[in-house]
C-alpha cells in the first residue's frame, strides 16, 4: 500500500480511494504541499533581512520617539509630553538649520540632477569615444570618503588656499577673500562640494535608465521628423520618470540629513548660517549639555520632512 500523504483527511471517500489518490483531489492536494513548502521557504529567505531592519532600525526609532517625549539633561530625564515639539518653534538655532537645509535642497538637488541627466545623455551616445574613461572620471568623486572631499574643498577655499592664490594671480581678486566666513559663499561652497561628490552617482543611475530605452523608439521618432530636443523632452524624460523620481527622493533624503560635509568645512558657521539639522542634533547630544530628549524630537522633524517631501514628489511624479 503506497504511503498516504499528510494532507489526507484519513477518511476513505465514496470511491474507496483515500483523498490523495482521487483524481481531482490528487493534484490539488499535491500542489498544496509544494505550495506550502515554497511559501515557507520564501519566508525563510526574507526573514533574516527583515528581522535585522526591525531590530536595528524600527525598534531604535520607536525608542527615539519615547525619548522625544522626555526632557532633561543627560540621564536625568522626565516625561514632558509634546513639550519638546512645541519648543521647536521658538528655537532660533533649529529654525535657522531648517532654513539652511531648505536652501541647500532647493539649489543643490535640481542642479545636480539636471547636470547628471545631461552627462548621462552625453555618455549614452553610441558614437562617443573613450566612453569608459569619461565614465570613470565622472564617477570618481563618489569613491572618496565624505570627510576627504570636505577636507580637500576646505583647503582649496582657505584664506591662503588655492582658490585665492589663483584668483589673485589672474587679477580677479585684489586681496584674499574669506570664502568660508561669508554666509552666502560658505553655502555655495558646501553646495559645490556636495554636487561634486554626488553627481557621478546619479549619472550612473540615469545612464542605466537610458540604456533601458530601446533605440528603435528614437529611430521611429527621427523618421517622424522629431528634433533632438523634442525627442528628449517627449520620449526620454517620460521614460526616465521612475529613475528621476528615485534619484530625487534619494537626493532629498541625503540633503535633509546633510552632516559630514558641513561639519568638516564650516562646522555650521559663520554664526548659524550653514548649520544643518543633523549638526544641531549632534551638538545637542555631544557638545552642549546633553539634551537627548530634545535631540530626539528634532530628529523626528527630519523624518516628518522626508516623508512629506517623498509623498509630494511621488504625487508630482504621478501627475507629470
For position 238 contacting other proteins by CB under 8 A, the verdict is: no
DSSP assignment string, 91-158: -HHHHHHHHHHHHHHHHHHHHHHHHHHHHHHHHH-TT-TTHHHHHHHHHGGGGS-HHHHHHHHHHHTS
For position 277 contacting other proteins by CB under 8 A, the verdict is: yes
Nearest-approach distance from CB 281 to other proteins, in angstroms: 4
For position 100 contacting other proteins by CB under 8 A, the verdict is: no
Which of 30, 63, 106, 222 is the binder for other proteins (CB under 8 A)? Answer: 63
Nearer to other proteins (CB atom), residue 29 or residue 101: 101
Which of 219, 242, 314, 315 is the binder for other proteins (CB under 8 A)? Answer: 242
Residues 160-179 that bind other proteins (CB under 8 A): 160-162, 165-166, 178
Give the Cα separation of 293 and 70 in Å (integer). Answer: 5
Give the Cα separation of 21 and 223 in Å (integer). Answer: 63
Nearest-approach distance from CB 317 to other proteins, in angstroms: 15
Residues 177-236 that bind other proteins (CB under 8 A): 178, 180-181, 183, 196, 200, 204-205, 207-209, 211-212, 228
For position 17 contacting other proteins by CB under 8 A, the verdict is: no
For other proteins, which stretch binds (CB under 8 A), given 11-19, 23-31, 101-109, 268-276? 268-276
Q: What do you get for the CA distance between the two ends of the chain, in Å? A: 66
Which of 108, 112, 113, 141 is the binder for other proteins (CB under 8 A)? Answer: 141
C-alpha cell belonging to residue 246: 528615485
Cα–Cα distances in Å, from 277 out to 2, 19, 97?
70, 66, 5
Nearest-approach distance from CB 206 to other proteins, in angstroms: 9
Helix (H, G, I), strand (E, B) or coil at 291: coil
- Number of shown-chain residues binding other proteins (CB under 8 A): 122
Residues 281-310 that bind other proteins (CB under 8 A): 281-282, 285, 287-289, 291-296, 298-300, 302-303, 306-307, 310
Which of 5, 8, 64, 317 is the binder for other proteins (CB under 8 A)? Answer: 64
Nearest-approach distance from CB 22 to other proteins, in angstroms: 25
Cα–Cα distances in Å, from 142 out to 120, 148, 208, 218, 233?
16, 11, 17, 31, 28
Nearer to other proteins (CB atom), residue 106 or residue 307: 307
Nearer to other proteins (CB atom), residue 26 or residue 121: 121
For position 107 contacting other proteins by CB under 8 A, the verdict is: no
Nearest-approach distance from CB 225 to other proteins, in angstroms: 15
Nearest-approach distance from CB 68 to other proteins, in angstroms: 9
For position 109 contacting other proteins by CB under 8 A, the verdict is: no
Nearer to other proteins (CB atom), residue 13 or residue 59: 59
Nearer to other proteins (CB atom), residue 18 or residue 294: 294
Nearest-approach distance from CB 288 to other proteins, in angstroms: 5
Which residues lie closer than 8 Å to 56 by C-beta, 6 or more apart? none
Amino acid at each position: 500500500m503506497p504511503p498516504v500523504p499528510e494532507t489526507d483527511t484519513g477518511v476513505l471517500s465514496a470511491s474507496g480511494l483515500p483523498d490523495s489518490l482521487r483524481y481531482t483531489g490528487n493534484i490539488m492536494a499535491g500542489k498544496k504541499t509544494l505550495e506550502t513548502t515554497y511559501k515557507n521557504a520564501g519566508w525563510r529567505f526574507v526573514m533574516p533581512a527583515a528581522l535585522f531592519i526591525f531590530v536595528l532600525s524600527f525598534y531604535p526609532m520607536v525608542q527615539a520617539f519615547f525619548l522625544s517625549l522626555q526632557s532633561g539633561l543627560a540621564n536625568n530625564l522626565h516625561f514632558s509630553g509634546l513639550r519638546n515639539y512645541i519648543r521647536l518653534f521658538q528655537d532660533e538655532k533649529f529654525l535657522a538649520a531648517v532654513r539652511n537645509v531648505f536652501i541647500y535642497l532647493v539649489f543643490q538637488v535640481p542642479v545636480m540632477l539636471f547636470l547628471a541627466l545631461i552627462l548621462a545623455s552625453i555618455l549614452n551616445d553610441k558614437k562617443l569615444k573613450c566612453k569608459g574613461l569619461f565614465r570613470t572620471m565622472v564617477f570618481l568623486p563618489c569613491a572618496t570618503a565624505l570627510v576627504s572631499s570636505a577636507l580637500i574643498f576646505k583647503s582649496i577655499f582657505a584664506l591662503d588656499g588655492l582658490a585665492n592664490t589663483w584668483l589673485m594671480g589672474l587679477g580677479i581678486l585684489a586681496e584674499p577673500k574669506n570664502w568660508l566666513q561669508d554666509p552666502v559663499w560658505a553655502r555655495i561652497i558646501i553646495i559645490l562640494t556636495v554636487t561634486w561628490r554626488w553627481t557621478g552617482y546619479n549619472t550612473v543611475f540615469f545612464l542605466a535608465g537610458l540604456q533601458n530605452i530601446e533605440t528603435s523608439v528614437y529611430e521611429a521618432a527621427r523618421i517622424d521628423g522629431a528634433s533632438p530636443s523634442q525627442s528628449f523632452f517627449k520620449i526620454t524624460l517620460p521614460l526616465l520618470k521612475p529613475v528621476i523620481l528615485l534619484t530625487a527622493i534619494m537626493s532629498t533624503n541625503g540633503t535633509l540629513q546633510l552632516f559630514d560635509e558641513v561639519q568638516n568645512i564650516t562646522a555650521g558657521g559663520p554664526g548659524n548660517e550653514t548649520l544643518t539639522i543633523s549638526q544641531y542634533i549632534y551638538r545637542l547630544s555631544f557638545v552642549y549639555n546633553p539634551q537627548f530628549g530634545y535631540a530626539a524630537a528634532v530628529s523626528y522633524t527630519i523624518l516628518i520632512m522626508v516623508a512629506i517631501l517623498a509623498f509630494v514628489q511621488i504625487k508630482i511624479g504621478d501627475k507629470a
